[in-house]
Amino acid sequence: MTPRDASDAYDDDGAQGDGPGGGRWSDLGRPPLNGTALRRALVREGGLWSDVDVVQRTGSTNSDLVALAEAGKAAEGAVLVAEEQSAARGRLDRVWTAPARSGLFFSVLLKPAEVPVHRWGWVPLLTGVAVATGLSRAAGVDTALKWPNDLLVTVGGEERKTGGILAERAGTDGVVVGIGLNVTLRDDELPVPTAGSLLLAGAANTDRDPLLRAVLRSLEQWYGKWRDAGGDPAVSGLQETYAAGCATLGRTVRAELPGDRSIVGEAVAVDGDGRLVLATAEGVQEPVGAGDIVHLRPE
């Protein structure tokens, strides 16, 4: 994978600055990542990660890595990290922004050839489990999962979104998974009041280098289990672990579906296809495979 294809403003060790009058060290509380050190720690013979590139600025790591994969310039296990993104995207084409070096913004390329395509819908859920597991170990903070792809932390007794996951197909045999995680975002930098960060949640560690290593190692472990099980979420332990960490289950929610349709019900399960199962007031259990989920407050 060639970083210059992903961004025209890059340097593993930061030759480029962050703007007029500033440089990569302009905010000493947010030191830059070192791509060389990350590659040395994560890329190993027989491991999943084949390359780790750090770019200072780009539009979207997902868009860049999809393009590299489809051009045959990225292998499975390629990791693209950006210190800052100008056109980051979430689900439903939502725009997401954050100050430079305030979080972890990266994408990975997976090619689960051993897994039937109908089970690839588990990839973003698997990624959520891996991120939560890695952060529990490295940051000392509990991270809950909101179906299908949000990462939640508790700030001042309230649930706040601190991260999100976006999975996109790359050609016929690949999936690019993007992860955005607010790490040192401060109160005055929050884009919306419902946002949070590891810092605001009282994390014991907000050093992005060990956090990124922990998340990628956790993702490698969970992806390996799932792939070795042929994508079976029960055999791999993924379905049970996801349910245990999912803040959506047991809650009354509103599912906003395509076509301006919505369903209100209790989230009772995540089925074998990764769909959220809602029990409605009419006594019907309805699986939801795509949509926006709103956690409703108890009346």
Residue pair 224/256 in contact (Cβ under 8 Å)? The answer is no
Boundaries of every domain in the chain: 3-243, 249-295
Written as six digits, the tokens of 273 are: 């296809």
DSSP 178-210: EEEEESS--GGG-SSTTB--TTTTT-S---HHH
Q: Which residue has the higher pLDDT, 250 or 5?
A: 250
pLDDT digits (tens, 9 = 90+) for 256-273: 998 889 999 999 999 999
Calpha distance 256→262 (Å, rounded): 4
Written as six digits, the tokens of 219 are: 């993702």
What is the strand order of the sheet 292-295 is part of?
Answer: 285-288, 276-280, 261-270, 252-257, 292-295
pLDDT digits (tens, 9 = 90+) for 276-293: 999 999 999 999 998 899
Q: Could you check whether the bond before residue 20 is cis, i.e. omega within 30 degrees of 0? A: no
pTM for the full predicted model: 0.89
Q: 249-295 in CATH: which number?
A: 2.30.30.100
Q: Tell me if domain 3-243 and domain 249-295 are identical in fold.
A: no
Out of 37-41, 88-92, 165-169, 214-218, pick the least confident. 88-92
Q: Is 58 a residue whose pLDDT tops 80?
A: yes
CATH class in words for 3-243? alpha beta
- pLDDT category at 2 given cuts 50, 70, 90 is low
Q: Is 184 a residue whose pLDDT tops 60?
A: yes
Q: What angle in degrees, to the nearest 10, is found between the helix axes of 208-228 and 123-138?
A: 140
Tell me what percent of the residues of the chain surpass a pLDDT of 70: 87
**Exposure string for 72-85, b = 16+ CB within 10 A, e = fewer:** eebebbbbbbbbbb
Q: Which residue has the higher pLDDT, 68 or 93?
A: 68
Written as six digits, the tokens of 243 are: 């349910």
